[in-house]
């Protein structure tokens, strides 16, 4: 897993790259825990265009991270999902309560 961070107009944007599978899920959890801690009470945009595979544990980690943001009055926004990851969020209906945008630009303009 690789993570790149940048700030755009006061909003932290985190780009994730890699596969979320058994061998990387602990690293993925640690990365998202760090993002949640760094952005307590704030909004963070998480770009998933570099994530080509996500297992069910990865989905659970996304839900846990979403809850951490909500508990601290923050906001987690996802963008740039690949077609496979987008389909995964649709099948599991996570797209109904997670904020998901087609592009980083669209996500930032919604904030």
- 26 in Cβ contact with 1 (< 8 Å): no
Residue 30 lies in a domain: yes
Q: What value, to the nearest 5°, has the Cα angle with vertex 32 and ends 100 and 22?
A: 100
Which structural domain range is residue 59 located in? 2-105
Q: What is the pLDDT of residue 111?
A: 87
Q: Which of 62, 57, 45 is nearest to 11 (CA)?
A: 45
Q: How many folded domains does the chain comprise?
A: 1
Question: According to the model, what pLDDT value does residue 57 have?
Answer: 94
Give the pLDDT of residue 1: 84
- How deeply is 75 buried, as exposed, middle or buried, from its count of CB atoms within 10 A (0-12, 13-18, 19+)? middle
Residues 61-108 pLDDT 10s: 999 999 999 999 999 999 999 999 999 999 999 999 899 999 999 999
What confidence category does residue 47 fall into, taking pLDDT thresholds of 50, 70 and 90? very high
CATH number of the domain encompassing residue 78: 3.30.750.24
CA distance 61 to 65: 6
Average model confidence (pLDDT) for the chain? 94
Asked if residue 111 belongs to a domain, the reply is: no
100: closest CA among 67, 84, 83, 76? 76
pTM listed for this prediction: 0.92
């Amino acid at each position: 897993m690789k993570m790149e961070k940048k700030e755009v107009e006061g909003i932290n944007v985190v780009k994730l790259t890699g596969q979320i599978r058994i061998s990387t899920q602990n690293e993925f959890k640690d990365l998202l825990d760090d993002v949640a801690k760094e952005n307590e009470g704030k909004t963070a945009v998480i770009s998933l265009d570099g994530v080509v595979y996500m297992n069910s544990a990865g989905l659970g980690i996304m839900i846990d991270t979403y809850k951490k943001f909500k508990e601290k009055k923050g906001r987690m926004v996802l963008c740039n999902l690949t077609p496979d990851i987008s389909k995964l969020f649709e099948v599991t209906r996570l797209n109904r309560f997670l904020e998901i945008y087609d592009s980083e630009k669209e996500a930032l303009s919604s904030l």
